[in-house]
Amino acid sequence: MKLFPIRGGIHPEYRKELSGERAIEALPLPSRLYIPLQQHIGAPAEILVSAGDLVKKGQVIARRQGPISAHHHASTSGRVVEVTEIPAPHPSGLPQPTIVIEPDGKDEWAALPEPIADPFAVAPEVIEERVAESGIVGMGGATFPAAVKLHLGIQYRIDTLLINGAECEPYLTCDDRLMREHAEAIVDGARIMAHTLGAPRIVVGIEENKPQALAAITVAANPFPNIEVAALPVKYPMGSERHLTLAITGLETPARKLTADLGVVVHNVATARAVHQAVRLGRPLIARVVTVSGGAMREPKNIEAPIGARVSDLIDFCGGFSQRPERIIQGGPMMGTPLPNLEVPVVKGTSGILALTADEINERPADPCIRCGACVNICACGLTPVELAAHIRHDDLEGAAKLGLSDCVSCGSCSWVCPSHIPLVHYFNYAKGALNARDREQRKTERTKTLVEANAARQERLAAQRAAARKPKAAPAANEVQA
């Protein structure tokens, strides 16, 4: 099919060969599962269990609250040991409420919702509800609740569902393996989602460096004339939602709009498979495929791990480290985050766990910028990182904002390419955070000012009322005197 060029982009060392040929293996049941209440974008789920409760596999243990939230389920049967705070799989390492389950080893299913025999005969709301009840979130890493994104079909006229199998992050092979091993489930999930969205057309986008995945999806999609498979050029950040949309449809999403405004919704391949399982089998999202890789990992693997398994469980299953890793990253090396420790759990957005050596990271102290312009030429968003960084270094955050700081998707290409090893993304993240904080502060000040003014006005009004109340009193008094 005809593809459209995207600006810039880089070709990092992919190193997908470390784990690409390893078939997905199931992780043996760990001794403890740690299921955080917040594994998604939006409000944390409301807890439904307490210490001592017995739970079954697939049972809802935390319920979504608010319009953007997600259910969470027990990944196996067992006993809730405690509800405690443990560090989240996030670089801040801040603790968050987490349900700790001790598996009983029986792996006994709870009563699951009935499979929907013919999902194409039911109303979209039924599928949406099932996806929400199953706790499905965007599994490419964004973790946006999938049901909310399927609801876009009500507000917008959607003509194309894009299934994102680009997997442009180096090292990661979990989507590649899923496509090779579960192509039918992915295609079925995609068809169910397209039905829910009212989208007549489905395009599965896969980078050309995954020929077997391309072949498997092409075979699985063959019976369905409305599904196309796009072999995407290998270029990071091809998997970015907006860039994928541009490459496949030629449509450029305007700033501050959604791809849905263009009639396009993008879902990840793993999300499509999760939808298939939820709808066809009634199974909630309780496990995901994680690529465990990196130069310091003894035996890189693709592991289907229950949500809540600790990172250390996965690393042990891969034979531990072959050498001391410089950093342990969650996600890919480009946009992933360093883990605070190995006791954090695998959550719904964990696509990879990478133990990287110093050589692989190739981090050095920053040298002065020589204005080579590489960052400008590779930026897929058309930014001038060299200028943004100069503004931020001089604490001129507004200047950086004017140059389009908010349009940066933090893909990391500029930092990757910089010969002076200037941590550009680090600058941008700092500036975005500081600007947000400043905005919040300003709103707070304005709100305080409004409140103070409102209070002053009220006091004035009350004083006026009191004065008005006194006057009539004074008048009769005078009358009395007269009388």
Partner 1 sequence: MIGGEATKSGPFAHSTNTVQQTMFTVILALSPATLFNLYLFGWPSIFLFGVTIGACVIAEAICLALAGRPVTHTLSDGSAILTGWLLAMTLPPWAPWWIGVLGAVFAIPLAKQAFGGLGQNLFNPAMVARVALLVSFPVVMTAWIAPHPLFSASAPGLADSIAITFGGQVPDGVTAATALGYVKTELSRGIPVFQSLVEYGRGTNLTYTPDLMDLATGYKPGSLGETSAILILIGGLFLMRRRIITWHIPVTVLGTLFLMGTLFNLLDPARFAPGLFHVISGATFLGAFFIATDYVTSPVSEKGQLIFGIGVGLLTWVIRTFAGYPEGMAFAVLLMNSLTPIIDQYTRPRLFGRTRKGEPLPLKGKA
186-245 residues near partner 1, rule: CB under 8 A: 242-243
Residue closer to partner 1, measured from CB, 262 or 344: 262
303 class by beta-carbon count within 10 Å (0-12 exposed, 13-18 middle, 19+ buried): buried
Q: Does 317 bind partner 1 (CB under 8 A)?
A: no
Interaction residues for partner 1, span 409-438 (CB under 8 A): 410, 412, 415-421, 423, 425-427, 429-430
Tokens found for residue 143: 């973790």
Query: How far, in Å, CA of 435 to CA of 391, rounded?
Result: 13
263 class by beta-carbon count within 10 Å (0-12 exposed, 13-18 middle, 19+ buried): middle
Q: In whole angstroms, how close is the CB of 451 to partner 1 at the nearest point?
A: 32
Candidate segments 31-39, 47-55, 334-342, 466-474, binder of partner 1 by CB under 8 A = 334-342
Q: Does 404 bind partner 1 (CB under 8 A)?
A: yes
Q: In whole angstroms, how close is the CB of 128 to partner 1 at the nearest point?
A: 21
Query: How far, in Å, CA of 221 to CA of 287, rounded?
Result: 25
Candidate segments 89-97, 188-196, 343-351, 442-450, binder of partner 1 by CB under 8 A = 89-97
Query: How far, in Å, CA of 382 to CA of 304, rounded?
Result: 38
Interaction residues for partner 1, span 263-292 (CB under 8 A): 263
Residue spans of alpha helices (H) in 134-210: 146-150, 152-155, 174-181, 183-197
Q: Does 363 bind partner 1 (CB under 8 A)?
A: yes
Candidate segments 40-48, 52-60, 247-255, 460-468, binder of partner 1 by CB under 8 A = 247-255
Tokens found for residue 445: 């000040």
Candidate segments 36-44, 175-183, 374-382, 442-450, binder of partner 1 by CB under 8 A = 374-382
| Total residues interacting with partner 1, rule: CB under 8 A | 75
Among 344, 381, 391, 400, binds partner 1 (CB under 8 A): 381
Query: How far, in Å, CA of 271 to CA of 33, rounded?
Result: 22
Interaction residues for partner 1, span 7-36 (CB under 8 A): 7, 10, 12-13
Among 46, 398, 407, 453, binds partner 1 (CB under 8 A): 407
Q: In whole angstroms, how close is the CB of 261 to partner 1 at the nearest point?
A: 6
Q: Does 327 bind partner 1 (CB under 8 A)?
A: yes
Tokens found for residue 7: 């600006």
Interaction residues for partner 1, span 139-168 (CB under 8 A): 156-157
Which residues does 106 contact at the CB level (< 8 Å), separation at least 6? 77
CA-CA-CA-CA dihedral for 107, 111, 117, 119, to nearest 10 = -90
Which residue type is seen at 96? Q
Instruction: Collapse the DSSP code of 276 into the 3-class scheme (helix H, G, I; strand E, B; otherwise coil) and give the result.
Output: helix
